[in-house]
Chains A and B, each alone.
Chain A
């Protein structure tokens, strides 16, 4: 079956611009997560959606970052006024409630 998909696979933007990253989770998965890996760092948690519950936003590094999950399926991560330190690989994962998280291929974001 189809796995988690993300778009775009690569995004180059100029400092100060806004970007939107998209995640299509596995059909039927109720939980969706965003993580990122900056250069030389481990994967770090950003935000977590579970069903209709309020999202856990505790990992978002600043108020320039926000995410939505529409209709319990597709999610968009938005970064406003991008900075060079936002350059990273952004990974999305989905799972059945408390099950194994399945990852997408990621979006590589480069902020010039």
Chain B
């Protein structure tokens, strides 16, 4: 993996169902993995920052895990609601460098 990659690119999920998507990233020089939620016409909102292999974070019905050895993170949404519709971005920072390197995002649409 040379770049931060996210899959799938887009996803439609029925309200009430659970879903998850993936972020893959280069393991070399990795420092932190960031998840953001970006709703249309709003600012990207920080969800989680994780640094250690095996980290798990939870915020309401959203949770995330981190595997730094194999270079991936999963974001899970349990019991999706229409307000969860947004683009979910992951980004990495490397040691000694604060700039975020983003994936292209997963656009999630919750169908009422």
- List chain A positions with a Cβ less than 8 A from chain B: 3-4, 31, 33, 35, 41-45, 48, 50, 56, 59, 91, 93, 95, 98, 100-106
A41 B104 Cβ-Cβ under 8 A: yes
Interface size for chain B: under 10, 10 to 19, 20 to 34, or 35 or more residues?
20 to 34
Q: Does B43 contact A (CB under 8 A)?
A: yes
Inside 8 A of B89's CB, which chain A residues have their CB? Answer: 42-43
CB of B98 within 8 A of CB of A31, answer: yes
Q: Give the docked Cα–Cα distance between A50 and B96 (Å).
A: 13
Point out the residue from A31, A56, A91, A95 that lies within 8 Å of B44, measured CB to CB: A91
Closest to A104 in B: B43
Complex contact A45–B43 (CB within 8 A):
no
Distance in angstroms between the alpha carbons of A11 and B101 in the assembled complex: 26
Give me the 10 closest cross-chain CB pairs, A-B, nearest first: A42-B104, A43-B102, A45-B99, A103-B44, A103-B43, A42-B102, A105-B43, A100-B46, A48-B99, A104-B43
